[in-house]
Amino acid sequence: MEKYKMHILICGGTGCRASASEAIQNNLQDALKAKGLEEEVQVVMTGCFGFCEKGPIVKILPDNTFYIEVKPEDAEEIIEEHIIKGRKVMRLLYTDPEKKEVVSDSKHMGFYKKQIRIALRNCGFINPENIDEYIATEGYAALGKCLAEMTPQAVIDEIKESGLRGRGGGGFPTGLKWEFASKNEADQKYVVCNADEGDPGAFMDRSILEGDPHSVLEAMAICGYTMGADKGVIYIRAEYPLAIERLKVAIKQAREYGLLGNDIMGSGFNFDVEMRYGAGAFVCGEETALIHSMEGLRGEPTVKPPFPAESGYNGKPTNVNNVETFANIPVIINKGAGWFNKIGTEKSTGTKVFALAGKINNVGLIEVPMGTTLREVIYEIGGGIKDGKKFKAVQTGGPSGGCLTEKHLDTPIDFDNLLAVGSMMGSGGMIVMDEDDCMVSVAKFYLDFTVEESCGKCTPCRVGNKRLYELLDKITEGKGTKEDLDLLRNLSTVIKDTSLCGLGQTSPNPVLSTIENFYDEYIAHVEEHKCPSGQCKALMQYVIDPELCVGCTLCARNCPVDCIAGDRKEAHIIDTAKCIKCGACMEKCKFNAISIQ
């Protein structure tokens, strides 16, 4: 292997790649070549660093310098100044927004301080397309330890003792699940990795697969060893081309090294992995639906029991775990259950990865110990609300979760606490909303999603959710009544109680939690026919204040439907009948003369 003096790491996650990280890589390499340094400095495209808000990110080792918002044209300066002259490029460093101090090292940034990275340990650290780098960070040591030193039952006991619970949302104890699958005798068994991340606004699994694909392969092999399965299948969204590509490379390399295939490490244990592609169906996150989809059928769930551990893929015992769950396994084996179960809370051990997004300063991928409070996540890691606006709600658990408010901010995040306050952990989407977001519209947004994604097999979910959506639509149109709120509540309860699978059993949560926490806002919609946040188009009008309007004509020139009239230097008027309420005029007005009524 080559020995390099310095390494330049570039984030190759989807967000940073969208902002030209490949061009940055090329320019850096060209600049190094021009200076004859290509043998001294290695440029590596890694997985996601997590700090997506400030991407593209470039990190320089060994001095740990963390450059943000790097552009392809900055490459030459980084090489010239930093690599050759040893001077940091100050303008590309992060400035702490509160202390106004420049921070050059990610360890001292508010965004990273409270994080503990277990599942994301290698993301942004190794080159995901090079198995040697994974092996250099204890990769495949856990598999070796299991095969050489531990019986399958000992591995299961270790996972049970670690307290690890399924990270896909359900929170079922992983060790127990493995034990069930191991106890069912069959000629063929399967390990399945659920990489069909369907939660809108969540990208944890994709980042792990893009940044550290081997950790998932290694864990699947360990799982196969415990339950006596020699086949693993990764069910992945076809919409994740980069993750698919990196997995293909990883599988090929692992086979070449004899870490997948027959007689792994001379132990006599056989295990290989193949991939199946999802085709865009949220319900396939449910394990029985996922299995049907793997069999080439419509992804409709079936009643449990029988559980997949008895009769799953092709009718054989099958264990399904999510990507993040698997990514935790090698670390637990290497460091021991006793190390892992000291992190987090008593009943929810370890960490959880969240995709933090919405109206927050630091959008990104974070991993925090269970028990961290929402306040710490939103204000310390997330850097607070964007544009100095007021916090209104945080949505966890995606379309199955709920909207939590100010009063829940000090709740320590774990599986049970979130359920107790009417939301759920879900797979890890965390969307922050501010005072401009209308909670009725948010509930309607989620129901729109559920209606589209309901597989249609059971009536409560297929018909009930549609009726919920219609009621919410009626309310946002200003035609709702107070009785509709009771109807929403009753119908929600019925859908939850009678639906077949997890989708319908949780889909009314966004409605129930917003009614519970933002009742006044619903009342304003149905009684005063007003939308307090000014989001519901039917309930608002744009008006120009003649006192403030100076007649600059900027609004009229920007109106896409020409509905603003007025002479130069005279107050303008909006023709509300023609107005499509796009808000372009208000955005452009420099005199704050346009408001929503």
- Binding to other proteins (CB under 8 A) within 296-325 occurs at 296-299
Q: Which position has the token pair 């992983």?
A: 174
Measured CA to CA, the distance from residue 557 to residue 587 in angstroms comes to: 13
- The verdict on 591 binding other proteins (CB under 8 A) reads no
Alpha carbon dihedral 546, 548, 550, 555, in 10-degree steps, equals: -80
Q: Residues 173, 163: contact at Cβ < 8 Å? A: yes
Least distance (Å) between residue 279 CB and other proteins: 3
H/E/C letters for each residue in 475-515?
A: HHCCCCCHHHHHHHHHHHHHHHHHCCCHHHHHCCHHHHHHH
- The verdict on 357 binding other proteins (CB under 8 A) reads yes
Tokens of 564: 């603003």
Residue 263 class from Cβ within 10 Å (0-12 exposed, 13-18 middle, 19+ buried)? exposed
Q: Which stretch binds other proteins (CB under 8 A): 104-112, 216-224, 343-351, 447-455?
A: 447-455
Q: Which stretch binds other proteins (CB under 8 A): 30-38, 158-166, 315-323, 577-585?
A: 577-585
Least distance (Å) between residue 365 CB and other proteins: 9
CB atoms within 10 A of CB 457: 18
Size of the site for other proteins (CB under 8 A): 58
Identity of the residue, 278 or 480, whose beta carbon is nearer to other proteins in the bound complex: 278
- The verdict on 207 binding other proteins (CB under 8 A) reads yes
- The verdict on 166 binding other proteins (CB under 8 A) reads no
Q: Residues 181, 280: contact at Cβ < 8 Å? A: no
Identity of the residue, 154 or 279, whose beta carbon is nearer to other proteins in the bound complex: 279
Least distance (Å) between residue 284 CB and other proteins: 9
- The verdict on 124 binding other proteins (CB under 8 A) reads no
CB atoms within 10 A of CB 188: 14
- The verdict on 557 binding other proteins (CB under 8 A) reads no
The half-sphere exposure of 69 on its side-chain side, counting CA atoms within 13 A, is: 9
Tokens of 114: 């409270």
- Binding to other proteins (CB under 8 A) within 486-525 occurs at none
**Among residues 81, 105, 230, 239, which is the contact residue for other proteins, using CB under 8 A?**
239
- The verdict on 203 binding other proteins (CB under 8 A) reads yes
- The verdict on 549 binding other proteins (CB under 8 A) reads no
How many angstroms separate the Cα of 2 from the Cα of each of 40, 63, 543?
A: 9, 20, 67
Identity of the residue, 41 or 236, whose beta carbon is nearer to other proteins in the bound complex: 236
Q: Closest Cα to residue 219, out of 295, 167, 277, 293?
A: 167
Q: List, in order, residues 6 or more apart from 289 with CB less than 8 Å away.
A: 281, 283, 299, 300, 301, 455, 501
Least distance (Å) between residue 18 CB and other proteins: 4
Q: Which stretch binds other proteins (CB under 8 A): 79-87, 128-136, 156-164, 431-439?
A: 431-439
Alpha carbon dihedral 21, 23, 24, 25, in 10-degree steps, equals: 90
- The verdict on 72 binding other proteins (CB under 8 A) reads no
Q: Which stretch binds other proteins (CB under 8 A): 292-300, 415-423, 493-501, 569-577?
A: 292-300
- Residue ranges that bind other proteins, judged by CB under 8 A: 13-15, 18-19, 52-55, 198-203, 206-207, 238-240, 276-282, 293, 295-299, 355, 357-359, 363-364, 395, 398, 429, 431, 433, 437, 442, 445-446, 449, 452, 455, 558, 560, 580, 582-584, 587
